[in-house]
Amino acid sequence: MDAIDVILTKRDGGRLTPAQIDWVVDAYTRGEVAEEQMSALAMAILLNGMDRAEVARWTEAMIRSGERMDWSGLDRPTTDKHSTGGVGDKITLPLAPLVAACGAAVPQLSGRGLGHTGGTLDKLESIPGWRASLSTDEMLRVLRDVGAVICAAGAGLAPADRKLYALRDVTGTVESIPLIASSIMSKKIAEGTGALVLDVKVGSGAFMKTTERARELAETMVAIGADHGVRTVALLTAMDRPLGRTVGNALEVAEAVQVLAGGGPPDVVELTLTLAREMLAAAGVDGKDPADALADGSAMDVWRRMISAQGGDPDAELPTARESHVVTAPATGVLTGLDAYAVGVAAWRLGAGRARKEDPVSAGAGVVLHHVPGDEVTAGQPLLTLYTDEAARLPRAMEALEGAISVVPGGTPDLLPLVIDRIA
């Protein structure tokens, strides 16, 4: 095989053969194909696309570049959820223990935040003592003892994707749907789950800004799952406004605990229950209803055991930021808009997010929403509270919120439904 021939095939609109795909992914992972050559191929894929068979084979080649986990020794079926990321998206935190409390095992490999989107591991690391890095044996032990584990993916899982992801980030090829879909699905399939539910976000705070693009991504990922024997369902969900009432690490943990205690914001509760039911159905588990598991405390019990099993103290006080600033309503009327992207950028600038993967994050930084779109507000009434450890960060966070808040007398918010569509 020759890298130039593979590049030219896709540049000229051709279809890559299975042999070409297997070779180029393996050779790139080993360093035989140069970065500039893979950059050219990624750009050709972005411009000319891939058909279903190509995407399935590309995904398989990335899976084969590393280890594949096996949970067949567990006494219950496995199911997992992946979100494409958003603002205030803390759903994984209550969802994993909730599904475990209903009879399935949840081997959840999660990531860290970058830019305006939050990361599950960053949120959980605000709990004193909790650790994200577990070996496969440790994961298996927690799954057997507790039923759910949330941790970081090891270096041996789809290393081809890790290398290609970094390249796409600096070559303008992130938006390629075949490459996005194969990136997500290669890790999830290598993770060894038997069923998968995808939460594909739509709106200003999401990677996919339009329903059409989100649906194309969801359909591509569902097809990959089917082609690899993993029962896969996708929901398109709203990210035109923040999810819940908090954005930030410790702030979102506290809100997740409220949900597990039977409270929490209605949208977070609704989406958690909807995804839990999809995960249980995909795994073929017909046990306790998730709403009952929230009401009777069994989901909270699993949460506490899961946190403790990974070194955390579920009773420890969460970190709080040193500085705060209140943003008030600019007028009297209905809050018709609160832009998710702007709120996410504000939280990032307050210290809750990072610009580079190696940057630290502040556990206590973030934004609390006192009102959500549709609420009646009065001029001067608190709308948001910004939290940070460094007062010097506040002006830039306030800049991000310019134009993000709309208050209209007698207005009606034009919002996406929480669950837009289901693809299976």
pLDDT digits (tens, 9 = 90+) for 338-364: 999 999 999 999 999 998 878 899 999
Tell me, yes or no, if 187 is annotated catalytic.
yes
pLDDT, mean of residues 393-407: 98
User: Residues of 177-212 as b/e, b for ≥16 C-beta within 10 angstroms?
Assistant: bbbbbbbbbbbbbbbbbbbbbbbbbbbbbbbbbebe
Of the residues 161, 199, 227, 240, only one is catalytic, namely 161
Strand partners, 422: 235
Helical axes 18-30 vs 35-48, angle rounded to 10°: 140
Alpha-carbon span 219 to 229, nearest angstrom: 15
Which pLDDT belongs to residue 383? 98
Which pLDDT belongs to residue 113? 87
Average pLDDT, the chain: 96
Alpha-carbon span 56 to 186, nearest angstrom: 10
| Position 92 pLDDT exceeds 90 | yes
Of the residues 10, 112, 163, 168, only one is catalytic, namely 168
Domains of the chain: 3-49 (1.20.970.10), 80-309 (3.40.1030.10), 323-408 (3.90.1170.30)
Distances (CA, A) of 333 to 145, 328, 343, 371, 413: 52, 13, 20, 12, 11
Q: How confident is the model at residue 297 (pLDDT cuts 50, 70, 90)?
A: very high
Q: How confident is the model at residue 169 (pLDDT cuts 50, 70, 90)?
A: confident
Of the residues 65, 83, 183, 298, only one is catalytic, namely 183
Which pLDDT belongs to residue 355? 82
| Position 155 pLDDT exceeds 90 | no
Residues 42-51: tens digit of each pLDDT: 999 999 999 9
User: What count of Cα atoms within 13 Å lies in the side-chain half-sphere of residue 308?
Assistant: 10
φ, ψ of residue 111 in degrees (nearest 5): -125, -175
Of the residues 123, 163, 187, 349, only one is catalytic, namely 187
Global confidence as pTM:
0.95
DSSP symbols for 241-293: S-SSSEEEHHHHHHHHHHHHTT-S-HHHHHHHHHHHHHHHHHHT---S-HHHH
Residues 180-222: tens digit of each pLDDT: 999 999 999 999 999 999 999 999 999 999 999 999 999 999 9
Which residue has tokens 């966070």?
Answer: 397
Alpha-carbon span 314 to 261, nearest angstrom: 13
Tell me, yes or no, if 123 is annotated catalytic.
no
Tell me, yes or no, if 168 is annotated catalytic.
yes
Residues 52-89: tens digit of each pLDDT: 999 999 999 999 999 999 999 999 999 999 999 999 99
Alpha-carbon span 60 to 53, nearest angstrom: 11
Alpha-carbon span 255 to 90, nearest angstrom: 8
